[in-house]
Amino acid sequence: MTKYSYPLDVSAINEILPHREPFLMLDEVVACTPHESVTAIKYVSADEPHFAGHFPGNPVMPGVLIIEAMAQAGGVLSHISNGDLFPKPLYFLARVEDARFRRPVVPGERLLIHVDADKVKRGMWWYRCEARVDDEVVASAMIICAPGETG
């Protein structure tokens, strides 16, 4: 199993995940316990392209992108847990359950994402996810990802 030294920066995350700008939603991975949990950070910046239209004069991070950030953190957990498995599986979002958004996330905030592995079955991962700004929970969901083939 590959060893990592935390925090992981964007270049290290790019070695783990296939996502790239502008769709990479993680800036740092601050901790990971394989098969158990991961904690990551997304620095919400005013220059992100979605803020131009969501919403002009009142920028709010789209909830779907918060879900995506939590799913990407889960992807980091899955990849680190699988170590040097070759070929490296590509995980796809299969389902989102019980998503809750408690308040808007705006530019200048730091989104702290914590993901716990709930279970793994037939290569599918169930993640219990929570996103916080400071000590306040802003979003939570159960996210299920499945390994898949690329075309």
pLDDT digit string, tens, across residues 8-41: 999 999 999 999 999 999 999 999 999 999 999 9
CB 80 within 8 A of CB 132: no
Q: What is the domain count for the chain? A: 1
Average pLDDT over residues 136-151: 90
Give the active site residue among 19, 35, 50, 54: 54
Model pTM score = 0.95
Domain harbouring 35, CATH code: 3.10.129.10
Measured CA to CA in angstroms, residue 92 lies from 8, 89, 105, 147, 150 at distances of 22, 10, 25, 6, 10
Indicate if 19 belongs to the active site.
no
Domain assignment present for 137 = yes
89 preceded by cis ω (within 30°)? no
Residue 62 clears pLDDT 90, i.e. is over it: yes
Residue 1 clears pLDDT 50, i.e. is over it: no
Domain assignment present for 144 = yes
What is the extent of the structural domain holding 97? 10-148
Average pLDDT over residues 115-142: 97
Domain assignment present for 80 = yes
Measured CA to CA in angstroms, residue 105 lies from 3, 19, 21, 141 at distances of 33, 22, 20, 16
DSSP reduced 3-state for 8: strand
Domain assignment present for 126 = yes
